[in-house]
Every structure is written in structure tokens, then in C-alpha cells.
Homo-oligomer: A and B are copies of this chain.
């Protein structure tokens, strides 16, 4: 098992490093092999194509995010809404670390691939959607606990969880564009509670009375 599985591991790590730093399209099989010091034959032994390597890299990155961010942030010992804030704080810490290492905020690897490839590769699109749904599950559990604990009013926790995923992904995209990890902390802290609390609001929007005619 020694050599071959080391080669697979090296390819996976190289794909994560290079594709996160640039893009899927910008990194070719030749460069991946050279950077990982793995022969092309070995590449195709483990991965039928670059796309298969990218799918394996997505799975690996999802495992890491769950272990290093989500399992820690969504600890059930922590008050429910505080878990959401911790999630943004831990992503902030992570992106600060990445910037210290690479000079760059690289954004969310799942969001990056969703943006680049959703219209081009159905397999990658569906894998990313599954990961987004996995992320939403952590958030929804915290929201259900927040409702039970009376921290927030009754709400459609499934939609609210999607709203938080969208907010988190948008923040990571802005942090990447501006190369400012501080945005993740600042925007997470200042509005996540409002975003969640607002999910209960649509039942009585303040302008509803003005459009009563159209109802």
C-alpha cells in the first residue's frame, strides 16, 4: 500500500493547493503531476480524469471543514445562536491562516467551484449542492435548537438555514475579492442574529397594510 496510496494523497493535496489558489480550469493534469512529483500513468491509475480528482478533492475539503470548523462551531454545549457566530469566527480564523500562508484570501473552495463550474459540469455541481446542503444541516439544527430555547421566534428553519449559507458564501466571496478576511468576522458578527431573527418577520411585514388592495 506504501507508494501508490502516497501518490494518490500527493495528487489530492496538490489539487487542493493549486485549484484553491487559482481555479479548476487554470490547473492541468501535467502541472498537477509535476507539482506532486507523480507520473502521469499513476495519475490515471487513481483518477480517470482531472474532474474525478476535483471531486475527490471536494470530498476531502468537506471532511476537513467539518472536522476543523463545523464540529467545533456547532458543539451542542454552546447556546444555539452563539454556534452560528462561532462558525463565522472559525471561518475567519481559517482564512486569516490561509492569507498568512499564501498572501491571499482564497474564498470558499465549494463556492469557488460552484461559481466556475455549475453550468459546465453536472457532477461537480451536484457534489457542491450536496456539500451546501450538509452545511445547511448544521445550521438548521442550531436554528431548531434556538427556536426551542426561545432565542428566536418560530420560523421556517430550513429556509433560514439556506439564507445563512447564502450569507456565509457571499461573505467569503467578498473577502476573496477584497482580499480582506476581516470582512468574515465583521459581517458575521454584526448581522447574523438579525438575519435569523428576520426570518420570522415576513408574516407581518410593516408595508403589508399599504398593499392590502392587491391581496
Chain A interfacial positions (CB closer than 8 Å to B):
21-23, 25-26, 79, 81-82, 104, 106-107, 111-112, 114-120, 125, 128-129, 132, 151, 156, 159-160, 162-163, 165-171, 173-174, 176-179, 183, 186-187, 189-202, 205-207
CB-based nearest B residue for A166? B170
Question: Do B120 and A23 have beta carbons less than 8 Å apart?
Answer: yes
Do the beta carbons of B176 and A118 come within 8 Å of each other? yes
Can you give 8 contacting A-B residue pairs, CB < 8 Å?
A: A112-B115, A112-B116, A114-B173, A115-B116, A118-B177, A132-B178, A159-B186, A198-B198
| Choice from B26, B111, B162 contacting A115 with Cβ under 8 Å | B111
In contact, B132 and A119 (Cβ under 8 angstroms): no
CA distance A74 to B174 in the complex (A): 22
Q: How far is the CA of A166 from the CA of B108 in the complex (A)?
A: 13
- Verify B201–A194 contact, CB threshold 8 A: yes
How far is A178 from B96 in the complex, measured between Cα atoms in Å?
A: 29
Give A210's nearest chain B residue, CB to CB.
Answer: B79
A175 to chain B, nearest CB (A): 9
The residue from B120, B162, B189, B197 contacting A202, defined by CB atoms under 8 A apart: B189
Cα of A167 to Cα of B116 in the assembled complex, Å: 19
10 more CB-based (< 8 A) A-B contacts, given A115-B173, A191-B201, A195-B198? A106-B119, A115-B116, A132-B177, A163-B167, A163-B190, A165-B170, A170-B173, A173-B173, A191-B195, A194-B201
